[in-house]
Amino acid sequence: MQKEELLHLHMLLVQVKKYYETVTGEEIQADQYNALHISPVHIHKNKVTHKKAILTLGNEIVQHIRANHNPYIQYQTDFQSQSERIATEH
């Protein structure tokens, strides 16, 4: 992945976090991400640093959602083929 793509993905992930916080009113604690002292506008940082920031922030967002929301996932069998399963979230 090119550095420009990583920067774009990093910016999108930060926007996802902000949007989630705005919509739900919940604050996502991103202590590990904040400890990296990097943001998408730090274009002088290398690709590895941005990749680590993306993975860290993504992990903290997922951990927050898992800890605060227990989605009910139900698997339904397709009537035509018993081997295919579809996951639906309620």
CATH number at residue 13: 1.20.1270.110
* Cα 9 to Cα 47: distance, rounded to the nearest angstrom: 12
User: 20 near 26, Cβ under 8 Å?
Assistant: yes
The model's pLDDT over 24-75, given as tens digits with 9 standing for 90+, comes to 999 999 999 999 999 999 999 999 999 999 999 999 999 999 898 866 655 5
**Cβ neighbours, 10 Å, residue 70:** 8
* Cα 12 to Cα 83: distance, rounded to the nearest angstrom: 36
Strand partners, 88: 74
Tell me the pTM.
0.75
Domain membership of residue 39 as a residue range: 3-89
Number of compact structural domains in the chain: 1
Question: What's residue 90's pLDDT?
Answer: 47
User: 54 near 14, Cβ under 8 Å?
Assistant: no
Tokens found for residue 55: 């993975």
